[in-house]
Homo-oligomer: A and B are copies of this chain.
Amino acid sequence: MTGNESEAALQRRSKNRRSGTAPVSQRKTNYRQLRNPFPVMSVFSDDEAVNMHETALRMLEELGMKVLLPEAVQIYRAAGARVEGDMVYLGREIVQAALASAPRSIHCRGGNAERDIVLELGALAFQPGAGAPHATDLKRGRRPGSARDYEEYTRIGHHFDVFQMMSPSVEPQDVPVHLRHYFTTLTQLDLTDKLPFLFARGTPQTRDNFEMLKIARGLDDDMFQAGVYAFTIINTNSPRTLDIPMAQGLIDFARQGQLSIVTPFTLMGAMAPITVAGAITLSHAECLAAITLAQLTRPGAPVCYGTFTSNVDMKSGAPAFGTPEHFQASLAAGQMARLLGLPWRSAAGSAANLNDVQAANENQLGLWGCLLSGATIIIHSAGWLEGGLSVSYEKIVTDVEVLNMVAELCAGRKAGVNEIGFANALAHVAPSGHFFSAPQTMERYSTEFYEPIVHDYANFGTWTERGGKDATIRATDVWEAILASPRKSAISSDRLDALRAFIDKRTMEGGAPPES
């Protein structure tokens, strides 16, 4: 486990070899459990938000959800829903009862207690960009995601404390699909003690994943079901469809007391209405249906509300991110989540094709939408390009710089007598003087300011002499240093051996292909 501060210091030290003996920052801010310090913003009036919620309930009653898994249809029917074929019509009393049983606060357990996080309104957690079929970096270019990329991405994601949770990361396309979950779950359990993400691609894979998690954490069935040790992401097929693996995931995770984060992925003007209000109403209805299934399966099952709604470019139909509409959709989703009182997930992201100024600006604008909407979890907070078709190693690093700064803002500042410093600073310096040697400065110079991991404050001349590298090029040095550091396992060799034995056995038995 490496804190990013220590690695930043390493980076800085190697840089300082060229420039002399500059001091190393001693600042240590805990990034592992954050509270959101930003004021919450609404885009709609409270009445409008209530109307959206009422419309979503009406949709579930009158328009219905298409549910492709017979077991899920049966669960809904048993609770009193009207069913016609694969169409499920949910009365509002069923939804409201389910919402009442969903927990408001979810304690999630990492590989050790320092990695535990509590998900509730007011908390804040970041995940790296996720779900990409491709990986890209300046050294090797853009390529289909591989096992190597998955492992590297896991190590980089683990390295930065500002990611409190893992994510679906990059798809290891060179691992056969019936064995892929063994690889992705093993890699996370081996290389990080943060809360792992488990794919929900059908019951057989989920069963394997849970067995591996119990081995890695040393848990029996009762202990496992009593705590949240992993999470998955449940995407509906918008509009109004819940497919087989996603319905199975909801049921499987709920039965075992593990966390489902429900996230309709809706693009305004494509699979959702063109308006923010319409798109979030649709997304909200789908969320309610999914949360209801989890609660009907096991009342009190840990679920997060979620949304990922942005717009399409109406000229090309291409997805856009980091737009005003994306920002407002986050605000609207936050209003709906607060109506329910549930922890919830939102997303930043970028549509840019490389880690350029557009990529930075989109990601940060999307991030501020999430922060001001009071999102509990922000996925795709770093590294995401091409609307999720690739993750960039350099972009992870440059986005982490922003996330670290946000984490520093979470820590706040004081303005006590010593900080205002009438005696030890203000009265100490004559007009037109400087504060370099004021007592207050001497006490604080090594801890007062955040030290960047990739931003460079050298002046133009010095920067030019050092090669005139832009931030993306400098970011390459940062991720290469992370991957060059010794590979460390987060679990004991005994448990690692047991995991490998489990995988060997299951591989001999034929593995488990994803459901569809």
A contact set with B: CB distance below 8 Å: 12, 16, 19, 22-23, 25, 37-41, 43-45, 48-49, 51-52, 55, 58-59, 62-66, 87, 142, 237, 239-241, 268-278, 281-282, 311, 313-320, 323-325, 327-328, 332, 351-362, 364-365, 368, 372, 386, 389-390, 395, 398, 401-402, 405, 408-409, 412-416, 419-422, 425-427, 429-436, 438, 440-441, 444-446, 448-450, 452, 454-460, 463-464, 468, 470-472, 475
Which residues does chain B contribute within 8 Å of A449, judged by CB atoms?
A: 268-269, 311, 313-314, 320, 323-325
Q: How many copies does the complex hold?
A: 2
Q: How distant is the Cα of A372 from the Cα of B475 in the complex, in angstroms?
A: 29
Find out whether the CB atom of A357 lies under 8 angstroms from the CB atom of B360: yes
Find out whether the CB atom of A38 lies under 8 angstroms from the CB atom of B372: yes
Find out whether the CB atom of A419 lies under 8 angstroms from the CB atom of B275: yes
Q: With contacts A269-B448, A405-B323, A450-B324 known, is A415 near B51, CB below 8 A?
A: yes
Residue with the highest number of chain B CB atoms closer than 10 Å, among A273, A277, A332 = A273
Residue with the highest number of chain B CB atoms closer than 10 Å, among A273, A354, A450, A457 = A457
Q: With contacts A356-B357, A426-B63 known, is A351 near B271, CB below 8 A?
A: no
In this complex, what residue of B is CB-closest to A409?
Answer: B324
- Residue from the list B65, B364, B425 in contact with A431, Cβ < 8 A: B65
- Residue from the list B58, B416, B432, B435 in contact with A422, Cβ < 8 A: B58
In this complex, what residue of B is CB-closest to A433?
Answer: B239
A283 to chain B, nearest CB (A): 11
Find out whether the CB atom of A277 lies under 8 angstroms from the CB atom of B39: no
Q: With contacts A43-B412, A459-B318 known, is A269 near B436, CB below 8 A?
A: yes
Find out whether the CB atom of A445 lies under 8 angstroms from the CB atom of B358: no
Find out whether the CB atom of B357 lies under 8 angstroms from the CB atom of A314: no
